[in-house]
Structure 1
Amino acid sequence: MFQSSYAGVTDISAPPIAEQRSHTHSLHGDDRPDPYFWMRDRHDPAVLAYLEAENAYTAAIMQPTEPLQATLYQEMLARIQETDLSVPVQKDGYFYYTRTEAGKPYTIHCRKQGSLEAEEEVLLDQNLLAAGQEYFALGVFQVSPNHQILAYSTDTTGSERYTLFFLDLATRQLYSESIPDTSYSFAWANDSQTVFYTQVDEAHRPYKLLRHQLGQTIASDTLIYEEPDEAYYLSVYETRSQAYILLELSSKVTTEIHFLDANQPTGNFQVIQPRAPGIEYSVEHHSDRFYIVTNEDAINFKLMQTSVSAPSKDHWQTVIAHRDDVLLSGVSAFANHLVIYEREAGLSKIRVRHLTNQQEHYIAFPEPTYEVYEDANPEFNTSILRFSYTSLITPRSIFDYHLDTQIQELKKETPVLGGYDRSHYISERLQAIAPDGTAIPLSLVYKKGTERNGRNPLLLVGYGSYGYSYPDAFSSTRLSLLDRGVVYAIAHIRGGSEMGRKWYEDGKFLNKKNTFTDFIACAEYLIEQQWTSPQQLSISGGSAGGLLIGAVINLRPELFKAAVAQVPFVDVVTTILDTSLPLSAMEWEEWGNPNDKIYYDYIKSYSPYDNVAAQHYPALLITAGFNDPRVSYWEPAKWTAKLRILKQDKNVLLLKTNMGAGHAGASDRYEKLKEIAFEYAFLLQQWQLDR
């Protein structure tokens, strides 16, 4: 047994070595001990001592970069318009918006009635709510249909367990009741007195839907639905038409949706289509019909419609058939238009259909690579669509698009102070070839004048899980790298949905290793094409992207100079075997059920923690959140401890645990910039650009 060297540490220049304790977990005949299983006990003083020792060691190693961190922070801060205003969103004669003030870390929520020249009404100042809190996050923020009551929820630990409050906007008085242990989703009934909310279980899974009457005790709340299946996540929301409240039950691959007349909140929810394994669908309401996007016999999804009076799939009729080369991402219904969101050849597209004459057109976008998202569109009776557009060189821009005239109106481009000029930067889309011959898209951005000479510092990032498409989006903080000559690259690897749903399917379950070999192929391509070299190539990823980082440095450590793994999901087998942990059972439909030996062996063969080897590794910065409900702090902590024992190089290995936050790190916008500056300083130090 290794003795603990972290208790009473006096020489913080020496890396902490965690105590090993024997713990055997036997499954499918595998009885190898896990010497760091004890780190799961957050109440064990030895665990806290270890994390604090690692933080002290990290601070000591990074101490020489503190001037650089301060410089980076000031650069990033100087690009932000600290006192700023969002584009107001109109709803029923009110204009809702948010604003920020210089020196204040959180958002202020406001509205004006009648016109933008009216007197401002502050609805909620997050700075006041966050005063004295190490962490603060706002969950629900919904004004009642009559615009008189605000429902909001708060989390002050990062655990993502929210407490729900109700504020009378006329009297500024809180209702007497507050509701703990709620989740993100929430819906008002049209009477502005009845609400529907979701509660989480011990594993942080939203599993109950309850109805609450304002002014009543929560003990009198009515349980509407309880989902017993640990693989399902429950949510509730209102349709844009305000006609129905939808209860959605979803696993990673299966959906079931129920609906309720929003004018009859004490009525009964009616199922649209009972769940069937592997069948997903989403619902949008318009007049007497539901539009339904589903993957039944349609891997890239298709659009169906049915009457509200006969919603089951026996009555579904095809509106847009399945296409092999186009992913149907979703639809939005407005009074006279249907807006259809697609992804083709890796790019997001918006298609508009007029519901009266069925004429269609696509919205044109100017750049070869970009991202576009629907923005806030609360009004049903409108001919204007608001969307958000960005690219690797274009800051986030809010547009109002006139659906009939096809006129685009730029409402605001996020200011980037300090003289940012997008013409000084270049973005492009390349392709790497995976071992099986598949072409993997690569997005690059760099400063004009950068040469392909094999000597450029390059940061390659990726994710490749859950069907999430890594966005080609602008970042003002990233300019601190680009302006120092760093090339930034995004690997659009399988496991995401960039190239359609099959792209996702080809990177999950027993195809998961494609995600890792795709990323390695991107790294090799960038080296072969003289964009960089192994001595200058660094990589970064968070959460499941942290799993990616852990897997590829086990497989090909010699390719990389340094790696940043943010809240990395690295102890895959142990975590998803334990259904008492948040969301673990749901993960079986992403990674496979490790109770099945085929999946157990496959997951075990790539799980980063289980495959740490006695070999050289790149320099590593690993981050964790002590209150993280998604990736428990002990995963990065265990991984760090095991790496310290087995790795055979002298490269730096750092673990930085935020003891007062969760999965997303700091909530304070200024502290968030400091976290980014810290990571950039680590990378710049490894590239020897810190001088």
Structure 2
Amino acid sequence: MQNPPVAKRVDSPRTHHGDTVNDPYAWLRDSDNPETIAHLKAENEYTEGLTGHLAGLRGEIFDEIKNRTQETDLSVPFRKGGWWYYTRTVEGRQYGIHCRVKADGDTPPELGDGSALPGEEVLLDENALAEGHDFFSLGVFDVSCDGNLLAYAVDFAGNERFTLKFKDLGTGVDLPDVIEGVFYGGAWSRSGDYFFYATVDETWRPDKIWRHRLGDTGDDPLVYTETDERFWTGIELSRSEEYLFLESHSKVTSEIRFLAAGDPTGEFTVMGPGRRTGIEVSVDHQGDRFIVLHNDGAENFVLGWTPVDDTTRFHTLIEHRDDTRLEGAEAFADHIVVHLRSEGLSGIRILPNDGPARDIRFDEPVYTARPTTNPEYRTGMLRLSYQSLVTPDSVYDYDIATGELLLRKQKPVLGGYRPEDYRQQRDWATAADGTRIPISIVHRADVTPDGTAPCLLYGYGSYETSIDPYFSAVRLSLLDRGVVYAIAHVRGGGEMGRHWYENGKMLHKKNTFTDFVACAEHMVSAGWSAPDGLVARGGSAGGLLMGAVTNLAPDRFAGVCAEVPFVDALNTILDPSLPLTVIEWDEWGDPLHDPEVYRYMKSYSPYENVTATDYPPILAVTSLNDTRVGFHEPAKWVARLRAEATGGPFLLKTEMEAGHGGRSGRYDAWHEEAFNLAWILDRMGKA
């Protein structure tokens, strides 16, 4: 067998709260060090050497993904002003093409065979922009209110620093205005003369909002600077196009400022009482009032409104409920759309201005339903997305007046896919403290819980992010080989309401890890997985979960796939100079200043807790230009596993031209996923 790379050990002691520890692989943080790059390349060669026998399976899986995909296709057009907007994909091309056609009536145009629609106007072809680059990402795509101008921003490195440009949609020519180093998002003024955008500080925190006047070659005026290092800021235009909202958020607190969109050079006004620690607020505009969602004295949030001319007065529309988490509210001229969560499932509620509220109902036992793109303020239709573990992503228009659901498109799955050939269900594991943990499960109909099937168990469990049941044509490459797929809805996510999140963060973070182990044990005890056929998978904060459960229960897993994994959590959160660290203190705690948090994080951080025991095979996947989770985290983790643990093998695969989301083109992404799935199937004995 090929010998693995051995990272040199360099003493790097640090002392916190009287605790002195050594970090022998800290040098791997330096991407400018030729030794670091050489080490990453050696790791890639080692990984390819140990997985080369899977090349045929990778090609087979890639072909399966490709053959299930209608490569020339288009999204269901959405209405904005006098146009229908949509995105097309073309066979053989990596990226989307953004288009529009003139609107003729309120019904979306017929989609045909997925090729260009009659009268199509191409706004932006990502393939042309990406030509000659190994990576491409679009961070801003925003058409002005009058439909005449397009603001767009591009990234060719994966570091999420974008170049902002503007296009005259009448002539198809870019304007001379170019702004470097912008962040995601932005907002047009009502007239389209101004565009507001955000930039980040040295820790990658969006902290400044700027105002650009088109055609102005001077320095852009700075509109707002967020000085509190725990907060980030952004700006958006209301759906009514009447107000600009400048928002500052930390993980637990938010503050909103507003300005009439027709007065872009005016001063923003703080809404209501302003910033109050622990109070989160989101806002939309409707007529003479602002619609406000907040958690002041209400863990699962309440919905209300406040007059535009006096934002200190508040009136309630939906009271707090212990069993229902209100997640968002969107205001339209004649109704409000609320997205909520109850019993672990997403839902949609309509609040007409002049009638009783009603929920949109769905029949499957597990599913995901949420509003999608609805830019029109005056409309009687709601565009929503629906999918489940067996139902492909389906786009509906919901008639507000009649309650009728109109299916506009279900994402095609080629190759004879039939939902009835598969089964989905919700199981419940029991955690050590007695908490019931939901698990969403899908498998082929001919797979039974007899303890013989392999299982891939996925988890995340942070930031109140809910991993809702979703359809994946890619996943069929597992299911059709007899694999059971399961999502562990562990605490730290938001699936069961705000308390689910609170009980899986800060000094309760270990619940996330023990919940996942309980779910793994349930899948085996319930017969959904063979004891030696269970593989775990997670990414980013879910990669922290992978590292933690591997330390907790290494004998439970036949393999662990950790993608862009946050496995060096303690060292990262101790360093305020690193991207996002101070912001993250509200999620993980502040180990730099709080000795209790330091001791707690040290007791679970994966890198710190590698032991001299047998670990399962591990595949860690990362990207050199990742600004969210540094490539050094999995690099250090794998080095320590090799030096101190037994078992394995421990593999590190680094994309040298990518960011947090991996490779950018769809074919590149399919190749990357085929690599991961082939490794997973090999660990299950299915290669």
User: Which bracket does the TM-score occupy, shorter chain normalised?
Assistant: over 0.9
Aligned twin of 1:65? 54
Distance 2:351 2:129 in 1: 44
Determine if the alignment matches structure 1 residue 293 to structure 2 residue 286.
Answer: no
Aligned twin of 1:267? 266
Contact 1:285 1:333 in 2 (8 A): yes
Contact 1:570 1:609 in 2 (8 A): yes
Instruction: Please tell me the residue identity of whatever aligns with 1:415.
Output: P
Aligned twin of 2:227? 228
Correspondence for 1:560 among 557, 578, 600: 557
Correspondence for 1:647 among 642, 645, 648: 645
Aligned positions of 1:670-689 closer than 5 A: 670-689=667-686
Determine if the alignment matches structure 1 residue 111 to structure 2 residue 108.
Answer: no
Residue by residue over 1:394-418, the C-alpha shift from the partner in whole angstroms, topping out at 9 and shown as x without a partner, is: 1100000001100000000000000
Aligned twin of 2:186? 186
Aligned twin of 1:3? none
Distance 1:499 1:639 in 2: 32
Distance 1:389 1:13 in 2: 48
TM-score normalised by structure 1 residue count: 0.97
Residue by residue over 1:247-273, the C-alpha shift from the partner in whole angstroms, topping out at 9 and shown as x without a partner, is: 000000000000010011111100103
Instruction: Please tell me the residue identity of whatever aligns with 2:615.
Output: Y
Contact 2:79 2:103 in 1 (8 A): no
Distance 1:207 1:22 in 2: 36
Determine if the alignment matches structure 1 residue 587 to structure 2 residue 576.
Answer: no
Aligned twin of 2:335? 337
- Alpha-carbon offset, residue 688 of structure 1: 1.6
Aligned twin of 1:167? 167
Distance 1:371 1:108 in 2: 27
Residue by residue over 1:291-312, the C-alpha shift from the partner in whole angstroms, topping out at 9 and shown as x without a partner, is: 1110110000001211011113
Aligned positions of 1:9-158 closer than 5 A: 13-115=2-104, 116=109, 118-158=118-158
Aligned twin of 2:483? 486
Instruction: Please tell me the residue identity of whatever aligns with 1:247.
Output: L
Which blocks of at least 5 consecutive residues in structure 2 are unaligned?
110-116
Aligned twin of 1:395? 392
Secondary structure at 2:19 match in 1: coil
Contact 2:347 2:370 in 1 (8 A): no
- Alpha-carbon offset, residue 118 of structure 1: 4.9
- Alpha-carbon offset, residue 338 of structure 1: 1.2
Contact 2:335 2:351 in 1 (8 A): yes
Determine if the alignment matches structure 1 residue 577 to structure 2 residue 566.
Answer: no
- Alpha-carbon offset, residue 177 of structure 1: 2.0
Aligned positions of 1:191-590 closer than 5 A: 191-217=191-217, 219-273=218-272, 274-312=274-312, 315-356=313-354, 358-590=355-587
Residue by residue over 1:63-105, the C-alpha shift from the partner in whole angstroms, topping out at 9 and shown as x without a partner, is: 1100110000000100000000111111111111110100000
- Alpha-carbon offset, residue 176 of structure 1: 1.3
Distance 2:504 2:71 in 1: 40
Number of residue equivalences: 674
- Alpha-carbon offset, residue 505 of structure 1: 0.2
Residue by residue over 1:182-217, the C-alpha shift from the partner in whole angstroms, topping out at 9 and shown as x without a partner, is: 111200001111111111111111110111100112
Aligned twin of 1:662? 659
Distance 1:63 1:464 in 2: 33
Secondary structure at 2:15 match in 1: coil
Distance 1:96 1:316 in 2: 37
Which blocks of at least 5 consecutive residues in structure 1 are unaligned?
1-11
Distance 1:432 1:552 in 2: 16
Aligned twin of 2:113? none
Instruction: Please tell me the residue identity of whatever aligns with 1:577.
Output: L
- Alpha-carbon offset, residue 156 of structure 1: 0.6
Q: Name whichever of 624-633 and 529-538 sits farther off.
A: 529-538
Contact 2:345 2:468 in 1 (8 A): no
Instruction: Please tell me the residue identity of whatever aligns with 2:246.
Output: L
Instruction: Please tell me the residue identity of whatever aligns with 1:45.
Output: P
Residue by residue over 1:466-492, the C-alpha shift from the partner in whole angstroms, topping out at 9 and shown as x without a partner, is: 000112000000000000000001100
Distance 1:671 1:484 in 2: 23
Secondary structure at 1:176 match in 2: strand
Instruction: Please tell me the residue identity of whatever aligns with 2:645.
Output: K
Aligned twin of 1:610? 608
Distance 1:529 1:199 in 2: 50
Residue by residue over 1:527-586, the C-alpha shift from the partner in whole angstroms, topping out at 9 and shown as x without a partner, is: 111211331110000000000000001011001110000000011111111111111111
- Alpha-carbon offset, residue 114 of structure 1: 3.3
Distance 1:316 1:232 in 2: 25
- Alpha-carbon offset, residue 142 of structure 1: 0.7
Contact 2:96 2:126 in 1 (8 A): yes
Secondary structure at 1:25 match in 2: strand
Contact 1:534 1:558 in 2 (8 A): no
Residue by residue over 1:128-147, the C-alpha shift from the partner in whole angstroms, topping out at 9 and shown as x without a partner, is: 00001110000110111111
Distance 1:534 1:58 in 2: 26
Contact 1:39 1:47 in 2 (8 A): yes
Distance 2:370 2:3 in 1: 48
Distance 1:342 1:187 in 2: 26
Secondary structure at 2:571 match in 1: helix
Distance 1:183 1:114 in 2: 32
Q: CA RMSD in A?
A: 1.0
Secondary structure at 1:175 match in 2: strand
- Alpha-carbon offset, residue 181 of structure 1: 1.1
Aligned twin of 2:625? 627
Distance 2:347 2:548 in 1: 33
Contact 2:151 2:166 in 1 (8 A): yes
Aligned twin of 1:7? none
Contact 2:245 2:258 in 1 (8 A): yes
Aligned twin of 1:6? none
Instruction: Please tell me the residue identity of whatever aligns with 2:609.
Output: N
Contact 1:470 1:492 in 2 (8 A): yes
Distance 1:336 1:13 in 2: 67
Secondary structure at 2:570 match in 1: helix
Q: Name whichever of 448-457 and 666-675 sits farther off.
A: 448-457
Residue by residue over 1:14-68, the C-alpha shift from the partner in whole angstroms, topping out at 9 and shown as x without a partner, is: 1101001010111111211100001111111110010000000011111110011
Distance 2:31 2:238 in 1: 41
Distance 1:449 1:371 in 2: 25
Q: Name whichever of 227-236 and 168-177 sits farther off.
A: 168-177
Percent identity between the two aligned chains: 48
